[in-house]
Amino acid sequence: MTQDLYSLPVTVQNPDTLKGINDFIHGFLSYQPKAADIIAAADADPECALVNAYAAMLWMFMEAPIAPQNAGPYLERAKAARTTATPREELAIDAAAAWISGDVPKLLEICDTALTDHPRDMVMLKLAQYHLFNLGDAAGMLRLALKSQPAAADIPYAHGMIAFGYEQCHLLDRAEAAARHAMNLRRDEPWAHHAIAHVMLTQGRIAEGAAFMESVADTWAGLNSFMHSHNWWHLALFYLSLGRHEDVRNAYDSHVWGLSKEYSQDQVGAASLLARMEFAGVDVGDRWDDVADHIAQRGADTVSPFLTLQYLYALCRTDRPEAVLMMQAIRDRAQDTSQHDHIAWRDVALPAATAILAHAKGDWSTTITDMSRALPRMAECGGSHAQRDLFEQIHLDALVQDGRASAAQQVLEMRRTYDPDGVPLNLLLGDIYAKSGLPVLAQEARARAEQTRTTYGD
């Protein structure tokens, strides 16, 4: 029987179909645009079950309400060809079907079964990690990634996924070791770069993190818009801490926004970076307008609570009328008990959304109260530690704006454990200490900021 690039049997008669499958597998793992070629390959071979199952999955990665409708015809083709499929290929069909129907727990069970029997099935591993990440299940991400070993010891992307699983579990030394190993196998493994960025940000290795990401940025040029923009987003976070305002603006304009303005991940990456830039005192000019224009076109999009909350922030920040529609959609979603993630919507996303709305209106007390309810469980909405920090910063900004200096001091000093010499953090801490009648501590904080800015800033 024919084999794919990782030596797994595939039921394929047409060499072009096999190429499409291999391009999808490798492109999916390496974040290369060639993954999208699976659509044309499926259209050219409607009787191949696996190529059509993969095409259905790709459509679902649109992360838009219309995605199941677009994926449906490919799933139907895959089901029609099921009698010719191997048991592993049948699991891929079942996984696509579960995703399209919204049964994510079933999808994860299928992925687990597939990886038990076929630990080199990187598509199923990547698919599982994606959904576990969206559920905030860090331990699950790591458990399934480790199931790939030792069978997939030669595959750099397996180690990149292991690295991210370790990082999300706060096992930072192991995360960096796994990512470095992935890079030893393949220097341009972007998910390994991403994991190292997370580690260095969490450990306060800010200047080192910027230098590392700059050293591998040449390998991101040909990646899809998400991975290109997201790794530059991480680099921009280092720039923010170092006080490199012009570099942040350049990263935003050249690499974070503008690659694929209709895509969910590009939109939230831009929105969250703009918010962070403003909190750090960076002039963003009129950059919000274009982002909000594109987000407004999403309508009542509640595909993911993590994404929706950031859509809402952009709409509220620009005072768009679509914010009302989005807010009502969130309330409706929170009341829908038929979905597997309804508790996250009800108990976490809804109070976070009311806090975001209140923040835009300058209602600091409501922002503080409602965001405080959401923050301890924000992982249930998805996103990484670094991404969810946006909500921490919204809460902090409300504390500062409301004059709650003591509470803000507590938050800022805790944040300084992983950003000890950051410019915006220490400038804000200096203001808080001054307002608290602690001039010596205010001077020390401002001196730290000035030292970082002198050494690394614009």
State the Cα–Cα distance between residues 422 and 302, nearest whole angstrom: 35
Q: What angle do CA 173, 176, 182 make, to 5 degrees?
A: 145
pTM score of the predicted model: 0.97
What confidence category does residue 54 fall into, taking pLDDT thresholds of 50, 70 and 90? very high
- Burial class of residue 32 (count of CB atoms within 10 Å of its CB; 0-12, 13-18, 19+): middle
What confidence category does residue 255 fall into, taking pLDDT thresholds of 50, 70 and 90? very high
Task: Report pLDDT digits (tens) over 381-391.
Answer: 999 999 999 99
pLDDT of residue 457: 75
User: Which helix H or strand E contains 448, and what residues bound it?
Assistant: helix 439-456
Mean pLDDT of the chain: 97
- The arithmetic mean of pLDDT across residues 375-398, rounded, is 97
State the Cα–Cα distance between residues 141 and 128, nearest whole angstrom: 7
pLDDT of residue 458: 74
Q: CA–CA distance from 269 to each of 80, 196, 349, 373 (Å)?
A: 39, 19, 18, 24
Which residue has tokens 């049997």?
9
Q: Where are the alpha helices (DSSP H) in 8-66?
A: 15-30, 38-44, 49-60
pLDDT of residue 322: 97
State the Cα–Cα distance between residues 314 and 268, nearest whole angstrom: 9
Q: Residue 362: which residues within 8 A CB-CB, separation 6 or more?
A: 401
Assign 103 to helix, strand or coil: coil
1, pLDDT greater than 80 = no
pLDDT of residue 52: 98
Q: How many CB atoms lie within 10 A of CB 225?
A: 21
Widest CA span of the chain, in angstroms?
A: 77
State the Cα–Cα distance between residues 456 and 208, nearest whole angstrom: 11
pLDDT of residue 128: 98
Task: Report pLDDT digits (tens) over 124-163.
Answer: 999 999 999 999 999 999 999 999 999 999 999 999 999 9
**Per the structure block, which two tokens stand in for 278?**
């403003």
Q: Residue 181: which residues within 8 A CB-CB, separation 6 or more?
A: 159
Task: Report pLDDT digits (tens) over 295-341.
Answer: 999 999 999 999 999 999 999 999 999 999 999 999 999 999 999 99
